[in-house]
Amino acid sequence: MHPIPRASALDDLRSRIRRELETLAYPTPAWVEPVAAPDGTVALDCAVIGAGQYGLTLGAGLRRERVERIGIFDVAEPGREGPWVTFARMSMLRTPKTLTGPDLGLPSLSFRAWWEAQHGADGWAAMFRIPRTSWMDYLNFYREALDLPVTNGWRLASLEPVEGSQLLRLGFETVAEPRTVFARSCVLATGAAGFSIPEWMAQAVPADRVYHANHAFDPAVLRGMRVGVLGAGASGFDTAVAALAAGARSADLCFRRPALPLTNPRRWMENAGYLAHYVDLPDARKWAMMHRLLSIGQGPPKPTYDAAMATPGFALHPATPWDSICWSGSEILVEGGGRRFAFDAVVAATGMRVDLAERPEMAAIAAEAALWSDRYAPPPEEANPALGRFPYLDRLGAFTEREAGRAPWLSRVLTITRGATLSLGPVSASNSGMKYTAPRLIEGVKRCLFLDQEAATWREFIGGDHTELPREAVA
Ligand SMILES: Cc1cc2nc3c(=O)[nH]c(=O)nc-3n(C[C@H](O)[C@H](O)[C@H](O)COP(=O)(O)OP(=O)(O)OC[C@H]3O[C@@H](n4cnc5c(N)ncnc54)[C@H](O)[C@@H]3O)c2cc1C
């Protein structure tokens, strides 16, 4: 037996993808009306912002539903979208290898098919979890095999309704000049924005000595240093391990809780009932679940924990919030939990903040969109201002109006980011939720296109030629 060379195995997979797409192409008629934009062009049916795993999947799914005038825009360089080869530092994904989602139900588009095309069924059986960079390679293959219309190097800078029409005007910053795109709908699949170094940390420490675990930087800058990491989530552990692997002298990971959270209900949520129908729960239950998840926290996955504990130079410090931090002129002095540390560099692994008001490109949305604090008042024991800032989305992921009638255009803007998780499900924005959440968003886009052209649909129904039988059949 001769192994199939890799390139031809992937060519074979490309043919299978085409064949499966053809097999499941029903229904094929075009249905989305072209709409003229103010600049004389035809508006996009949908502008997808972000070409990470969600942006690509939504693009692929919209095309299958014959929503064809789409554009996918990403500020990143091609092949560097999302966290996978930029700031993610784990060796493998944190979720089980069996997850599906980008495939949208087509076996040939799954990660497994891509992996097996190159490594065979034995290679699949031998793999424990998906290697991190292989996930990016798979997404690159997916984009290329489906010929998705991605424009890189464009950053969405503004989004607003076009007065007197059903269109949205999107302003982009590009390497050359600012550009404007008109679209009938928009999905914000912008992923991991909102990670920032806490101000108290940034102000206390020189800029070249403070990093964020979820920002792209070369861990080699920490070579020879004593590194303090604040925060016990997976990214904190990954960054500590990466720093040590790159030659850091030590990595002390400090966190506020008395112990690491030992449970992770997110894995339990990965069942077909919960993933599909969290959205149908009453608001009070959604809030209570998210509040509980935030209260118990989320530690690292076991392989990440094991890797860190086995790395010389790594130390874990529970019950150690940082009460004070200062720069002595040569080192960073930290006090917390009754301990004192001297570091050469610090890393914030303090998670992500959801706040529309902090994102300039969201200004028009933030001015009109309902937040959870506008729609739901939790009992005092579940008070949680951070959750109150999450946007209150409808069940297909569209923004809703804070005041009815003021901004109906918001129904044309959908989102799947961390901010969507209170409305759509705690793991909806992750790999493990894509199988259920991506089709929902695709339906959301179709719903708004269909309802916006409802009058044209009626005209076509009444005035179109729907002849089925020949004239003779009347006699
Ligand atoms: C470090 C890390 C590890 C993770 N590991 C796992 C895991 O193992 N399993 C799991 O289930 N989940 C994991 N997640 C959660 C989730 O699956 C990822 O965050 C995933 O990348 C989300 O995909 P996405 O397409 O929504 O966003 P991203 O992959 O983040 O893609 C968003 C894209 O939007 C672009 N963008 C942002 N703002 C703009 C703008 N204004 N204009 C133009 N483009 C813009 C970005 O450049 C980016 O390429 C992880 C998250 C992180 C941060």
Neighbouring CB atoms inside 10 A of 185's CB total: 29
Say yes or no: CB of residue 233 within 6 Å of ligand 1. no
Distance 90 CA to ligand 1 centre (A): 14
What was the pLDDT predicted at 471? 83
Dist. CA 432–CA 277, nearest whole Å: 14
For residues 393 and 424, the answer to whether their CB atoms sit within 8 Å is yes
At 253, give phi and psi (nearest 5°): -100, 115
Burial string for 347-385 (b: 16+ CB within 10 Å, else e) reads bbbbbbebebeebebbebbbebbbbbeeebebeeeeebe
Token pair belonging to 415: 């989102």
Mutate to test the pocket of ligand 1, among 53, 304, 362 (most ligand atoms within 8 A of CB): 53
What is the Cα 384 distance to its own chain's centre?
A: 23
Q: Say how far apart CA 319 and CA 280 lie, in whole Å.
A: 38
Residue 133, pLDDT score = 97
- The dihedral sign for the CA sequence 138, 140, 145, 150: positive
Domains of the chain (ranges, CATH numbers): 6-194+354-458 (3.50.50.60), 199-260+299-348 (3.50.50.60)
CA angle 381, 382, 387 (to 5 degrees): 155
Q: Is the dihedral of CA 263, 386, 229, 131 positive or negative?
A: positive
Which of 57, 74, 302, when mutated, tests ligand 1's pocket best, judged by the most ligand atoms within 8 Å of its CB? 74
- Contact between 431 and 101 under an 8 Å Cβ cutoff? The reply is yes
d(Cα 404, Cα 400) in Å, to the nearest integer? Answer: 9
pTM score = 0.95
Element (H, E) at 222: none
Q: Does residue 102 have a cis peptide bond before it, meaning omega lies within 30 degrees of 0?
A: no
Tell me the C-alpha distance between 247 and 149, whole Å.
41
Atom nearest to 417 CA in ligand 1: 26
Which helix H or strand E contains 144, and what residues bound it?
helix 132-145
For atom 14 of ligand 1, the residue with the nearest CA is: 430
Residue nearest to atom 44 of ligand 1 (CA): 74
Q: Mind giving me the DSSP string for 200-213?
A: HHHHHS-GGGEEET
Ligand 1 atom, smallest distance to 57 CA: 25
Cα 103 to ligand 1 centroid, rounded to whole Å: 17
Does any ligand 1 atom lie closer than 6 A to the CB of residue 55? yes
Ligand 1 pocket check: which of 81, 158, 235, 266 to mutate, most ligand atoms within 8 Å of Cβ? 81
CA–CA distance, 363 with 161 (Å, rounded to integer): 12
* Interior/surface letters 48-77, b for 16+ CB within 10 angstroms, e for the rest: bbbbbbbbbbbbbbbbbbebebbbbbbbbe
Which residue, by CA, sits nearest to atom 48 of ligand 1? 82
Q: What is the pLDDT of residue 80?
A: 97
3-state secondary structure of 229: strand
Stretches in the chain below the pLDDT threshold 50: none
Q: Give me the amino acid identity at 475.
A: A
Nearest CA to ligand 1 atom 21: 82
- Verify whether ligand 1 is closer than 6 Å to residue 238 (CB atom): no
pLDDT for position 99: 93
- 210-236 as b/e: b if 16+ CB within 10 A: bbbbbeeeebeebeebbbbbbbbbbbb
Kindly give the distance from the C-alpha atom of residue 470 to the centroid of ligand 1, in angstroms, as a whole number: 55
Say yes or no: CB of residue 415 within 6 Å of ligand 1.
no
Output the pLDDT for position 351: 83
Q: Which residues pair with 168 in a beta bridge?
A: 161, 183
Pocket mutation for ligand 1, best pick of 58, 75, 80 (most atoms within 8 Å of C-beta):
75
Residue nearest to atom 41 of ligand 1 (CA): 156
Which helix (H) or strand (E) is 290 found in, with range?
A: helix 283-296
Question: Phi and psi (nearest 5°) for 393?
Answer: -95, 160
Distance 192 CA to ligand 1 centre (A): 5
